């Protein structure tokens, strides 16, 4: 494929950022052990297997080492070799916590979970003071961790701010080769040759066929919009494209549909009536084309979206106007063109309650995991089968936090 040039807006003027690079095909990678997009026979087999599984749904709350917690990320830890079919699934979650969002005492925390066991005590991944010391620069606050797994290695991306608010953010990258027990010294991504500010991360990336990574990110300064970064395996940015929209948008969630075609659901940060915004690429991320907004209300709140093993798309979001006191699951069987409400996961009559910033994952056994912010006090984990998702007749009784 040909190299391209991509414009971006930075600070008070329009500056030109040039990244030249090769854009290989995308892999469908929301599931463990990356594989190309499933063919019709594989999808039919996955649907049949899901239909034969018992309906299952359970809750648990992650440890709460701080008064406030937000923006959880979740990944399945992958060993170097393919595990036995009956081996327990191992998950790692990360979030930021402290006295409140943006406070100087906020650190990144992590906890691990495996099938049949509870969440383990939370450990500190990164502190503001440690990041400041290791990187040799002023760090005012931390936020938005993102975990990405590959066999034998974990990658952690997170946001740091040196001056000002979130619009002054930069993205940092760290690695672990021991399942998250230790993390390397963070390195800042160079997303722009001018100031290198106002790039944030939230939702999972997508592997390319050559082992490089596509990472959905977003820009906040002056103009809010989604972006797509193409990273080498060592974290160097070699490509960048913009998800241009007529409204302010944030936090794209991207799902590849085949080798070159991917769709993105974006948070609507514009004025007036907010709905999930939509963009697509048909050249593996080189260019993104605005599509019609989906008929899903979006109160300027994060949405998560993954491709399920049966070929459908699953979204977790707050499909109500103005508040985040209802968290729901929606499904699409036509590649995101239309959506139906499948389940209301949690809701409250109190508009001040918040169930937000979801993260979704389907593990190698087919179980679906959802983690989300619970009232800004902690992180909640729901795990359910696709049979439960397919048969929405059973009500959910929220668990009492521990």
The pLDDT of residue 328 is above 90: yes
Closest CA to 346 of 368, 375, 322: 375
The pLDDT value given to residue 39: 54
The model's confidence at residue 242, banded by pLDDT at 50, 70 and 90, is very high
The pLDDT of residue 372 is above 90: yes
311: left (phi over 0), alpha (psi -120 to 50) or beta: left
The pLDDT of residue 237 is above 60: yes
DSSP sequence for 90-118: EEEEEEEEESSTT-TT-EEEEEEEETTSP
The model's confidence at residue 2, banded by pLDDT at 50, 70 and 90, is very low
The pLDDT value given to residue 319: 96
Look at 48 and 142; give whichever has higher pLDDT.
142
The pLDDT of 97-115, averaged and rounded, is 95
> Which fold is adopted by the domain 6-12+24-390?
Neuraminidase (2.120.10)
The model's confidence at residue 74, banded by pLDDT at 50, 70 and 90, is very high
The model's confidence at residue 192, banded by pLDDT at 50, 70 and 90, is confident
With pLDDT > 70 as the criterion, what percentage of the chain qualifies? 84
The pLDDT value given to residue 34: 33
Closest CA to 226 of 214, 238, 217, 237: 217
The model's confidence at residue 232, banded by pLDDT at 50, 70 and 90, is very high
The pLDDT of residue 256 is above 70: yes
The model's confidence at residue 46, banded by pLDDT at 50, 70 and 90, is low
Tell me the CA distances in angstroms from 101 to 9, 124, 170, 343, 394, one per residue in order. Answer: 27, 16, 17, 29, 35
The pLDDT value given to residue 149: 96
- Token output for 159: 């946001």
The pLDDT value given to residue 283: 96
Map out the domains of the chain as residue ranges: 6-12+24-390
The pLDDT of 72-87, averaged and rounded, is 88
DSSP sequence for 329-392: EEEESSTTSS-EEEEEEEE-S-TT--EEEEEEEE-TTS-EEEEEEETTTEEEEEEE-HHHHH-T
C-alpha span between 262 and 279 (Å, rounded): 9
For the entire predicted model, the pTM comes to 0.88
The pLDDT value given to residue 196: 72
Terminal CA-CA length for the chain: 53
Closest CA to 363 of 62, 60, 9, 87: 87
């Amino acid at each position: 494929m040909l190299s391209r040039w991509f414009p971006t807006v930075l600070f008070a003027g329009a500056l030109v950022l040039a990244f030249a690079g090769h854009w290989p095909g995308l892999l469908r990678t929301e599931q463990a052990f990356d594989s190309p997009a499933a063919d019709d026979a594989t999808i039919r087999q996955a649907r049949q297997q899901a239909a034969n599984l018992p309906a299952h749904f359970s809750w648990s709350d992650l440890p709460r080492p701080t008064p406030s917690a937000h923006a959880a990320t979740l990944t399945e830890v992958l060993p170097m070799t393919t595990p036995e079919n009956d081996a327990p699934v191992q998950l790692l979650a990360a979030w930021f916590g402290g006295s409140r969002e943006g406070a100087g005492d906020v650190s990144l925390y992590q906890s691990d979970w495996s099938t049949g066991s509870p969440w383990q005590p939370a450990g500190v991944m990164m502190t503001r003071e440690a990041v400041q010391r290791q990187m040799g620069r002023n760090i005012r606050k931390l936020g938005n961790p993102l975990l990405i797994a590959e066999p034998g290695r974990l990658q952690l991306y997170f946001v740091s701010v040196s001056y000002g608010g979130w619009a002054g953010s930069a993205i940092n990258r760290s690695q672990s080769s021991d399942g998250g027990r230790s993390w390397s010294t963070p390195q800042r991504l160079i997303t722009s040759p001018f100031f290198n500010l106002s790039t944030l991360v939230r939702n999972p990336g997508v592997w390319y066929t050559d082992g490089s990574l596509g990472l959905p990110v977003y820009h906040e300064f002056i103009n809010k919009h989604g972006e797509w970064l193409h990273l080498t395996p060592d974290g160097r940015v070699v490509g960048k494209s913009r998800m241009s929209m007529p409204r302010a948008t944030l936090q794209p969630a991207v799902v590849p549909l085949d080798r070159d075609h991917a769709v993105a659901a974006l948070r609507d940060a514009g004025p007036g009536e907010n709905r999930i915004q939509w963009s697509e690429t048909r050249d593996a991320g080189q260019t993104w084309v605005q599509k019609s907004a989906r008929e899903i209300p979006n109160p300027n709140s994060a949405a998560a979206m993954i491709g399920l093993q049966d070929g459908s798309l699953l979204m977790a979001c707050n499909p109500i106007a103005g508040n985040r006191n209802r968290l729901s699951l929606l499904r699409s069987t036509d590649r995101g063109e239309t959506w139906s409400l499948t389940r209301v996961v949690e809701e409250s009559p109190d508009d001040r309650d918040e169930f937000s910033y979801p993260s979704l994952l389907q593990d190698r056994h087919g179980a679906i995991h959802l983690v989300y912010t619970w009232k800004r006090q902690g992180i909640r984990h729901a795990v359910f089968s696709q049979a439960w998702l397919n048969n929405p007749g059973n009500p959910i009784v929220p668990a009492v936090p521990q």
